[in-house]
Chain A
Amino acid sequence: MAAVVLSEPEKLYIVHGVQEDLRVDGRGCEDYRCAEVETDVVSNTSGSARVKLGHTDILVGVKAEMGTPKLEKPDEGYLEFFVDCSANATPEFEGRGGEELGAEIASTLYRVFSSESSVDLKSLCINPREHCWVLYVDVLLLECGGNLFDAISIAVKAALFNTRIPKVRVLEDEEGSKEIELSDDPYDCIRLNVDDVPCIVTLSKIGYRHVVDATPQEEACSLAGLLISVTSKGTLTSMKKVGKGSLDPESIFEMMETGKRVGKSLHIALQKILDEEECLGTSRQKVGFLG
């Protein structure tokens, strides 16, 4: 990840600030930066979302395609994640520089969504063992401003909320061969239930306390961190330790509690904004990229 170089006194200033619950930009340890969420920004996808969290800019597109179900789960559809770290974000991502980070984020997303209850995969099945919907979730990193995982998970949830999968009917011929018929009405589609989709909360340990939504400067002062994914009900679905430092079992417990608390507020705030956007409907002024 794009690392910022800081001098020792600067790091000390940040660490002491976190200790007193007053970060450099005036936030407390559990406050997020102001986020902007917009869905339906890419027209040729089934669902898309763009999230701006401080200087971090993420674009997610979801494409629904027909495919064959996996052998071990014949009556379910599945999700495929791909993360692209664009060279726009930082010169380090030029060429193949961003591949490692992209693979790490993609594997984390797979892990977060591996729980059976996060997305109702059975609703994505059309014909058991033959046809199912595959949702290709593509994440594009436009700008790196710290706290990538949280922003990506918020954008993925918003994009899945925005996804519209066309309704299909399976017709049986006399010979027994099945035909798939797409409904004529473009607005006739099924929506996914995203109530149980988890969001990732990254907690970075700085000094003796931990912070949520770290800026790149704060990430440079933190040696260890915890990545947890929380659902809207406060259930933890996965946990991962990041960083080269070590964590005390007591701090891990404290961080988990903070993560659950913050995660629940995050879901409430996100759902509120998604519902607000939904209510505006077609009267919403689309901002997109040239606003």
Chain B
Amino acid sequence: MAAISMRLPVARKAVAPSSSRGGEKRLVAPGDTITTDTGYMRGHGTYVEEEKLVASVAGAVERVNKLVCVSALKSRYNGEVGDIVVGRITEVQQKRWKVETNSRLDSVLLLSSMNLPGGELRRRSAEDELAMRDYLQEGDLISAEVQSVFSDGAISLHTRSLKYGKLGQGVLVQVSPSFVKRQKTHFHDLPCGASVILGNNGFIWIYPTPEQKDEETGSFTTNLEPVPLSDREVISRLRNCIVALVNQKLMLFDTSILYCYEASLPHQIKDILKPEVMEEIVMETRQRLLDLEA
């Protein structure tokens, strides 16, 4: 039975600023004057015009002692050492892979930064170089950590731990990097029955929780068995919840995703993406998060 819902567009309502933790962030648009005081040093996102400090991007003003900078709300991912990212392989080159991570330049994954199967520790030989395509091909998804940032801003990745590596079956959701909250860990096994990797670059990977936890192979073998229907429903619901949270401008972290999932249970999975249902679910999530803080 086909379900087709059409509607007339409704003007977006301004989202009320959440009156949470103290220190109201000051939002500016490009061209807004930040300050006329000449004693400040200008940081990223600002420029000096006629002795005034003016913002060049739309975002929140951040001040550290004498340094004033504006961090953009929607921008490409700027890598920082230690971040977890989810990326897609775009090219296979000599001794390295080029990975797309929603940044200004393609990231780089060197062959030497990749674990060999079985956890061997040796110098990469010419055979390893020729067998690169057997490990990772164009289009493959990987989870990795940022090792270093080159001077031009390009990121160098590494998968030097068994929890990183090629990703198997699952769903990828792409959001703006500013929605992902910085936390201690970005790999979450949600109690609802699926696992999620919140990449700092805005790529969220939702996948069925693997059965055995001890057989860490470093993901060289992908599980190609069909995922059961119950897991699929959980994954689809999580995906829609994440889209709803981003649409209503709420930060993404394990608790918010979980609360949103629980708030969405009374609705059908495909109904979550309807504008009125999204608002209702996220309002409930916001309320629960505020209660949690209080």
Q: Which of B3, B9, B222, B240 has the most CB of A within 10 A?
A: B9
Chain A CB within 8 A of B273 CB: yes
A273 contacts which of B7, B88, B233, B236 (Cβ < 8 Å)? B7
Q: Of all chain A residues, which has the CB nearest B208?
A: A13
- B contact residues around A28 at 8 Å (CB): 3, 270
A26 contacts which of B5, B88, B226, B269 (Cβ < 8 Å)? B269
Considering only residues 259-294 of chain B, those with a C-beta below 8 Å from chain A are 268-270, 272-275
Chain B CB within 8 A of A33 CB: yes
Chain A CB within 8 A of B126 CB: no
- Report the minimum CB–CB distance from B1 to chain A (whole Å): 7
- B contact residues around A81 at 8 Å (CB): none
Q: Is the interface of B mostly helix, strand, loop or mixed?
A: loop
Chain B CB within 8 A of A32 CB: yes
Contact of B270 with A27 in the complex, beta carbons under 8 Å: yes
- A contact residues around B169 at 8 Å (CB): 9-10, 12-13
- B contact residues around A36 at 8 Å (CB): 6-9
- Report the minimum CB–CB distance from B133 to chain A (whole Å): 13
- B contact residues around A9 at 8 Å (CB): 167-170, 222, 224
Contact of B236 with A32 in the complex, beta carbons under 8 Å: no
Alpha-carbon distance A32/B140, docked complex (angstroms) = 29
**Chain A contacts to B: CB under 8 angstroms:** 5-10, 12-13, 16-17, 19-20, 22-28, 30-38, 52, 212, 261-262, 265-266, 269-270, 272-273, 276-277, 284-285, 287, 291
Alpha-carbon distance A9/B88, docked complex (angstroms) = 13
Contact of B11 with A285 in the complex, beta carbons under 8 Å: yes
Decide yes or no: A26 and B272 within 8 Å by CB, A10-B169, A285-B11 being known contacts.
yes
Decide yes or no: A6 and B139 within 8 Å by CB, A34-B5, A269-B5 being known contacts.
yes
- Report the minimum CB–CB distance from B224 to chain A (whole Å): 6
- A contact residues around B272 at 8 Å (CB): 26
- Report the minimum CB–CB distance from B5 to chain A (whole Å): 5
Q: Of all chain A residues, which has the CB nearest B235?
A: A24
Give the 7 A-B residue pairs with the shortest CB-CB distance, closest first. A26-B269, A291-B11, A26-B270, A30-B2, A13-B169, A26-B236, A287-B9
- Report the minimum CB–CB distance from A221 to chain B (whole Å): 12
**Chain B contacts to A: CB under 8 angstroms:** 1-12, 88, 90, 138-141, 167-172, 222, 224, 226-227, 229, 232-233, 236-237, 239-240, 268-270, 272-275
Q: Of all chain A residues, which has the CB nearest B229?
A: A20
- A contact residues around B222 at 8 Å (CB): 8-9
Contact of B8 with A37 in the complex, beta carbons under 8 Å: yes
B8 contacts which of A12, A32, A277 (Cβ < 8 Å)? A277
Decide yes or no: A34 and B274 within 8 Å by CB, A9-B169, A9-B224, A10-B172 being known contacts.
yes
Decide yes or no: A26 and B229 within 8 Å by CB, A13-B170, A273-B7, A291-B9 being known contacts.
no
- A contact residues around B88 at 8 Å (CB): 5, 7
- B contact residues around A284 at 8 Å (CB): 8
Decide yes or no: A30 and B170 within 8 Å by CB, A5-B88, A7-B140, A20-B232 being known contacts.
no
- B contact residues around A262 at 8 Å (CB): 2, 4
Alpha-carbon distance A17/B235, docked complex (angstroms) = 11
Contact of A38 with B170 in the complex, beta carbons under 8 Å: no
